[in-house]
């Protein structure tokens, strides 16, 4: 008996040793696995739908920067975080980073970024920023620009990802690094909210390890009409090969979307890399990924409404971003910047 036990024990020790060796060479597989999957699966269609029908409702009047409808949206987002005990990095009950009018365009009223925060365990000073703009175009000639895809879809994705990380934290699976959930204002007026945040960051930019920015992920563009399980990724390898590789690995392992890098071409006339909030991080040498579904017939029109969103796809894309965030927040070392 004893001898057999010793043999089995020896075998177990050997096996463990072997596993450790594998994990060193295959970090991705070891870190983001079944635990992450449990929380990714808590991101569900019905929640995304409920919040998007609210954010993109007529009540919020198209969420134009500085206008009453946008204030309502800001309150809605704040209430969402408060209810779930997801704190603000600005202090008790203060979820708004006010932007003085001097930093906005002259015709705009004061506005605010909305911030929520989950503190990391081992490396709390290293910050991953997950962002989306919550402003849109407002109203014109009595018509409301609901902005369900642009960028209600990104707004509810950030909220859902925060909720999933909060659930993980409550069950003892808090991320190693901290995560800032950043709802920026003034994007449609010229990336003003993200510009303000990066000029007056709450956490030093040198400690900001990456930015995942979401702007329009609820629809399908003409190019993918017949094969809608896709998302455009922009900028993923511009500063960090490692970020690009881990993003690919997460998708391959879990979400299996077609990742389309068409807009990464430097010669693409759309220049999307420069056209949403991630650019304010990228220009500060922070690696970014921009998640995007391309433009469509309702882009920047009053017809960008929540009934036209593909919620299953919105869920899958949000889960991809969650897995990527999980990996960035939990791997041993922060992602390396190896390009200029
Ligand atoms: Zn947008």
* Dist. CA 216 → ligand 1 center (Å): 6
* Dist. CA 275 → ligand 1 center (Å): 9
Intra-chain end-to-end CA distance of the chain, in Å: 62
* Dist. CA 134 → ligand 1 center (Å): 8
Residues with pLDDT less than 50, the chain: 1-29
* Dist. CA 328 → ligand 1 center (Å): 24
Please report the pLDDT score of residue 23 as a whole number: 40
Please report the pLDDT score of residue 13 as a whole number: 44
* Dist. CA 61 → ligand 1 center (Å): 16
* Dist. CA 47 → ligand 1 center (Å): 21
Burial (CB count within 10 angstroms: exposed 0-12, middle 13-18, buried 19+), residue 2: exposed
CATH 3.40.50.2300 fits 29-330, yes or no: no
Task: Give the model confidence (pLDDT) of 92-145 as tens digits.
Answer: 899 999 999 989 888 899 999 999 999 999 999 999 999 999 999 999 999 999
Please report the pLDDT score of residue 340 as a whole number: 83
* Dist. CA 299 → ligand 1 center (Å): 9
- CB 211 within 8 Å of CB 157: no
Please report the pLDDT score of residue 30 as a whole number: 52
pTM to 2 decimals?
Answer: 0.91
> What is residue 33's DSSP assignment?
S
* Dist. CA 182 → ligand 1 center (Å): 14
Q: Could you give the 3-state DSSP secondary structure of residue 323?
A: helix
């Amino acid at each position: 008996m004893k001898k057999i036990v010793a043999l089995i024990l020896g075998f177990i020790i050997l096996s463990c040793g072997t596993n450790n060796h594998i994990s060193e060479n295959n970090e991705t597989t070891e870190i983001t696995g079944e635990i992450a999957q449990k929380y990714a699966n808590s991101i569900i269609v019905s929640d995304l739908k409920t919040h998007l029908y609210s954010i993109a409702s007529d009540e919020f009047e198209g969420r134009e920067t500085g206008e009453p409808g946008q204030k309502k949206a800001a309150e809605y987002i704040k209430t969402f975080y408060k209810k779930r005990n997801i704190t603000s990095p600005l202090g008790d009950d203060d979820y708004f980073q006010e932007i003085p009018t001097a930093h906005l365009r002259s015709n705009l009223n004061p506005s605010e970024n909305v911030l929520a925060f989950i503190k990391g365990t081992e490396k709390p000073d290293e910050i991953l920023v997950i962002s989306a703009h919550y402003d849109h175009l407002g109203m014109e000639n009595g018509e409301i620009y609901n902005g369900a895809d642009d960028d209600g879809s990104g707004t509810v994705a950030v909220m859902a990802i925060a909720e999933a990380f909060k659930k993980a934290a409550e069950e003892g699976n808090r991320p190693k690094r901290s995560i800032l959930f950043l709802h920026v204002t003034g994007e449609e007026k010229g990336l003003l909210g993200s510009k303000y945040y990066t000029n007056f960051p709450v956490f030093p930019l040198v400690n900001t390890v990456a930015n995942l920015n979401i702007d329009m992920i609820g629809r399908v563009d003409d190019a993918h009409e017949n094969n809608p399980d896709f998302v455009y990724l922009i900028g993923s390898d511009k500063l960090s090969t490692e970020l690009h590789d881990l993003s690919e690995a997460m998708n391959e392992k879990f979400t299996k979307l077609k990742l389309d890098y068409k807009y990464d071409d430097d010669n693409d006339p759309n220049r999307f890399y420069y056209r949403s909030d991630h650019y304010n991080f990228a220009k500060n040498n922070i690696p970014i990924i921009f998640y995007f579904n391309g433009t469509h017939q309702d882009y920047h029109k009053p017809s960008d409404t929540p009934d036209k969103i593909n919620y299953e796809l919105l869920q899958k894309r949000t889960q991809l971003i969650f897995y990527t965030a999980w990996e960035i927040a939990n791997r041993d070392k922060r992602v390396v910047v190896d390009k200029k």
